[in-house]
Structure 1
Amino acid sequence: MLFPITIYRACLWLPARLRGERWHPRVNTALGLLLYGLFGLPLSILLSLEILIVINTQLMAQPMDDDEATQKPLSSTSYSPTHHWPGRTLEEWPTDLQVTLPGYVDDATPPPDPTLPRDQFYDQLLASYSPTILHKMGHEPLWDIPTDIFFDGDTNPRNNVSNALSLGTVPAVVHGEVIAETDDAYYLAYMLYHVKDYDLPVREAISDATFHDGDNEGIQLRIDKASMQITLVETWFHNRFFLCNRTGESQGTEPIQTRALFEGGTHLVLFVQSMGHGVRCASPADFDDLASNSKILRLASDRDKLIAPGINDHTEYNIGYRLASLKPWYRLAKTHAGSGNDFTTLFEDTIVLGTDSTGKEIQIGKFFAANDFEKRAWSRPKPPWAWDDRWDDIPVALWHFHPALAFNSHTGEAYSEKYHYNAPISLIFTAEERKTVLTSLLSEHYQHAPQRLARKTNPVNRQPSLPPAKKPGIGVQVKRYMNYVIHSLG
């Protein structure tokens, strides 16, 4: 563990060794410090992170419980994930990106019908593209079940932990919404709210920031109108956007974490961590440990046949969840209070998105209200408009309020940014506020990209961003490595 000192001394020693007494000692020292800053310090940080990852991997390793060893679900001993072609193993990525996990039943649901009224059509979209969720279970399984933030019948999440403990269970619920429609795509969001984020006792003892009441992570995805295929997914993984698509390639500002896998044609397969609940697209490697501490959740097409999850770490392959709308979140977004236990609002603290014509600040809630949290911690539970990846070039709120622009920025694509429908913007803000908010967000965004500022037109109907002229460079490689670090330490 003394390598940082050794590297530092080596950097100071090398100029003197090469040039000897030909240079003044101060020159040798200056060159040594320059060498350390350019090479020694980055190498020290890199080695420190790798050692930290190894230590964390050992801490996070969770042996099976005694009863898990004897449980042996029907499919666990002989199951090997396959394509929809029988008998073929997932040793490599399937060329059609299709997998069939245990518990899957083809309900032969007809495709969404765009001739229906908008609300009905959007409900069909949400069901047809609802994710298959591979959720790992930790030592507090009650906190590893995604549920309705209003499961207890009120809109005050401060009492969710105590109410869940009193009930001893929570229903499996995913919050879903068609958040936007443009000329060429539909944008869908699926949120996984957990009553509590927790960690291993040793990590909780080290830092209060490793656990907190309430947790909200999830995804936004783009469905191409021409093909009706999911072309891009962005997941929220511990304050970082993880991207996946069908090719594994991108020309934008953010790296692609992995290719996407699907079940039943349209159902994206997600992997969700236990304890911290980071969400990402699943990969074939995630299926190697499928029989241990896993629950597979799918949308229940028939509520009367919904199978509730066991509040345990036993593997279950056929859990059903139901969908809840995000519209109540939008309608309550401007009802908030300061951090504290004496309120009943859904949200605490605020994000300022500009001022209206009277000079009054336009504010929306920043955090989900809670009792137990570290006030200054980055990990406090947030609604999707408050998700802010400090490594990308879009400001807070733009990702959820202007998904087409965010996806264009991240991938270098030129998707249409002309909206026919935008749920959060239309339900949260008045007509006057909408233009103010979007103008403010775009102005902040283009401060980071002034070369594109001249192309900004009406905020709602502006032309799509152009893809970069050259392939991403070292910045994307650094982000790719940081994704690896965040994923390993999550």
Structure 2
Amino acid sequence: MLFPITIYRACLWLPIRLRGNRGHSRVNTALGLLLYGLIGLPLSILLLLEMLIVINTQLMAQPMDDDEVPQQPLSSTSYNPTHHWPGRTLEEWPSDLQVTLPGYVDKASQPPDPTLPRDQFYDQLLASYSPTILHKMGHEPLWDIPTDIFFDGDTDPRNNVSNALSLGTVPAVVHGEVIAETHDAYYLTYMLYHVKDYDLPVREALSDATFHDGDNEGIQLRIDKASMQVTLVETWFHNRFFLCNRTGESQGTEPIQTRSLFEGGTHIVLFVQSMGHGVRCANPADFDELASNSKILRLASDPDELIAPGIDDHTEYNIGYQLASLKPWYRLAKTHADSGNNATTLFEDTILLGTDPTGREIQIGKFFAANDFEKRAWSRPKPPWAWDDRWDDIPVGLWHFHPALTFNSHTGETYSEQYHHNAPMSLIFTADERYTVLTSLLTEHYHRAPQRLARKTHPVNRQPSLPPAKKPGIGIQVKRYMNYVIHSLG
């Protein structure tokens, strides 16, 4: 652990060694400090992070279930997951990106029918593209089951922990919604709410920020209308957006974390951590430890065939979940209270999104209400419109309210931004508020005057935008490394 001091001393010594007595001592000291700032300090931070990752890996390691027999996933291309990601080359992934995990039952179903009324068609989309979830289980398995935030029959999440403990179980539920339709795509979101975020006892003892009541992470994905394929998935992993697509490449502001893998043609395979519940796209290495503390959850389209999860860390491959709508969240978005008050609102604290022509502030809820949390902690559970990745160019709110622009910014694509439907914007805000909110968010995104938007007749239906001006900032490789650090320490 003395290496930071050694590196510092080496940086001060090197100018003296190279320059000898030719320079003034203060000049040598200044050169040494400059060398330390440019090379020594970043190297020290890098080594410290790697040491933390190694220590954390040992702390978080979970034993194999001795009574479980490992089952490997199957692929239509005879793919055998024997190498460790990310060392696998692209050629070692299944060429069709299809895998079949244990417990999968191939049930023939008709593709979504766009001639049906919109709500029925959207329900079909949600079912057809529902994720297959590989969920790891920790030492408090009740908190590792994704469930309905209203599982106890009321809209106040402050009592969810006590009610779940009283019941001893919670139903497996994923919140899903078709949030938007544009000229060329459908945008779907799936939220995984957990009653409690927890950690290892040693980490909980070190920091109150490592655990809290309530947890909400999930994904947004884009379905291309022409091919009806999922072209991009963005997941929420501990306050960072992790991206995956079919190619593993991006020309935008964000790196691609991994390629997408699908089950049954259309079901994106997700990996969800135990305890902290970070969500990312699954990769082949995740399948090497399927038999260890894992539950695989799939949508149970027939409630009579739903298999409930055991509240334990035993591996189960055929758990069913049901879908719940996000519409109640949208309708309650403006109903909030200050943190710590004895209220019954769904949300606490607010996000200011602008001011209407009368001077009234437009605010929506920032956190899911809870009893046990660190008030200033970045990890408090948030609805998707409050997710804010500080490493990208997307201001808080825009990711969920304007998914097409967000995906364009992150990947460098030119997807249509002409909306035919936008569920959160239409259900949360009035027409006047929508214009104000989106104008404010776009202005923040572009860092330019609102006059740039004057030619847009209505921001919700705007045409594809010009890319934001190039700004100095961290490189894509630094972001890629930070993704690795966040994933390893999550």
TM-score normalised by structure 1 residue count: 0.94
- CA displacement at 1:424 relative to structure 2: 0.2
Q: Deviations over 1:415-455 (max 9, x none)?
A: 00000000000000011100000000000001189999798
Provide the residue aligned with 1:2 in structure 2.
Answer: 2
For structure 1, which segment, 458-467 or 368-377, has the greater mean C-alpha deviation from structure 2 after superposition?
458-467
User: Is the CA contact (8 Å cut-off) linking 2:187 and 2:403 kept in structure 1?
Assistant: yes
> Cα distance 1:449–1:62, how it changes in 2: closer, same or farther (>3 A)?
farther
> Cα distance 1:77–1:205, how it changes in 2: closer, same or farther (>3 A)?
farther
- CA displacement at 1:292 relative to structure 2: 1.1
Provide the residue aligned with 1:362 in structure 2.
Answer: 362
User: Is the CA contact (8 Å cut-off) linking 2:75 and 2:100 kept in structure 1?
Assistant: no
- CA displacement at 1:107 relative to structure 2: 1.2
User: Is the CA contact (8 Å cut-off) linking 1:176 and 1:324 kept in structure 2?
Assistant: yes
- CA displacement at 1:64 relative to structure 2: 3.4
Aligned residues: percent identity?
90
> Cα distance 1:92–1:69, how it changes in 2: closer, same or farther (>3 A)?
closer
Partner Cα distance (2:45, 2:417) in 1: 40
Partner Cα distance (1:115, 1:247) in 2: 31
Partner Cα distance (1:82, 1:31) in 2: 49
Partner Cα distance (2:483, 2:177) in 1: 27
Partner Cα distance (1:374, 1:87) in 2: 38
> Cα distance 1:359–1:467, how it changes in 2: closer, same or farther (>3 A)?
closer
Q: Deviations over 1:109-166 (max 9, x none)?
A: 1000000000000000000000000000000000000000000000000000000000
Q: Deviations over 1:227-281 (max 9, x none)?
A: 0000000000000000000000000000000000000000000000000000000
Q: Work out the number of aligned pairs and report it.
A: 490
> Cα distance 1:358–1:217, how it changes in 2: closer, same or farther (>3 A)?
same
- CA displacement at 1:66 relative to structure 2: 6.3
User: Is the CA contact (8 Å cut-off) linking 1:417 and 1:462 kept in structure 2?
Assistant: yes
- CA displacement at 1:462 relative to structure 2: 2.6
- CA displacement at 1:463 relative to structure 2: 2.8
For structure 1, which segment, 85-94 or 35-44, has the greater mean C-alpha deviation from structure 2 after superposition?
85-94
> Cα distance 1:489–1:456, how it changes in 2: closer, same or farther (>3 A)?
farther
For structure 1, which segment, 86-95 or 225-234, has the greater mean C-alpha deviation from structure 2 after superposition?
86-95
Partner Cα distance (2:430, 2:36) in 1: 55
Moved over 4 A (4+): 65-91, 448-457, 466-474
> Cα distance 1:76–1:166, how it changes in 2: closer, same or farther (>3 A)?
farther
Provide the residue aligned with 2:289 in structure 1.
Answer: 289
Partner Cα distance (2:21, 2:83) in 1: 68
Partner Cα distance (2:127, 2:470) in 1: 39
Provide the residue aligned with 1:311 in structure 2.
Answer: 311
- CA displacement at 1:86 relative to structure 2: 25
User: Is the CA contact (8 Å cut-off) linking 1:98 and 1:262 kept in structure 2?
Assistant: yes
- CA displacement at 1:459 relative to structure 2: 1.5
> Cα distance 1:166–1:354, how it changes in 2: closer, same or farther (>3 A)?
same
Give SS of 1:390's match: coil
Q: Deviations over 1:451-472 (max 9, x none)?
A: 9979866422333245699999
Provide the residue aligned with 1:471 in structure 2.
Answer: 471
- CA displacement at 1:357 relative to structure 2: 1.7
RMSD: 3.8
Partner Cα distance (1:77, 1:142) in 2: 37
Provide the residue aligned with 1:394 in structure 2.
Answer: 394
Partner Cα distance (1:474, 1:480) in 2: 10
Unaligned 5+ segments in structure 2 are none
User: Is the CA contact (8 Å cut-off) linking 1:81 and 1:90 kept in structure 2?
Assistant: no
User: Is the CA contact (8 Å cut-off) linking 1:83 and 1:98 kept in structure 2?
Assistant: no
> Cα distance 1:425–1:471, how it changes in 2: closer, same or farther (>3 A)?
closer
Give SS of 1:148's match: coil
User: Is the CA contact (8 Å cut-off) linking 2:439 and 2:450 kept in structure 1?
Assistant: no
Partner Cα distance (2:180, 2:454) in 1: 25
User: Is the CA contact (8 Å cut-off) linking 1:270 and 1:281 kept in structure 2?
Assistant: yes
Give SS of 1:440's match: helix
Q: Deviations over 1:350-408 (max 9, x none)?
A: 00000112111100000000000000000000000000000000100000000000000
Q: Deviations over 1:48-83 (max 9, x none)?
A: 000000000000011136666999999999996799
> Cα distance 1:84–1:258, how it changes in 2: closer, same or farther (>3 A)?
closer
> Cα distance 1:29–1:257, how it changes in 2: closer, same or farther (>3 A)?
same
User: Is the CA contact (8 Å cut-off) linking 1:92 and 1:284 kept in structure 2?
Assistant: no
Provide the residue aligned with 2:417 in structure 1.
Answer: 417
> Cα distance 1:231–1:71, how it changes in 2: closer, same or farther (>3 A)?
closer
User: Is the CA contact (8 Å cut-off) linking 1:82 and 1:88 kept in structure 2?
Assistant: no
TM-score normalised by structure 2 residue count: 0.94
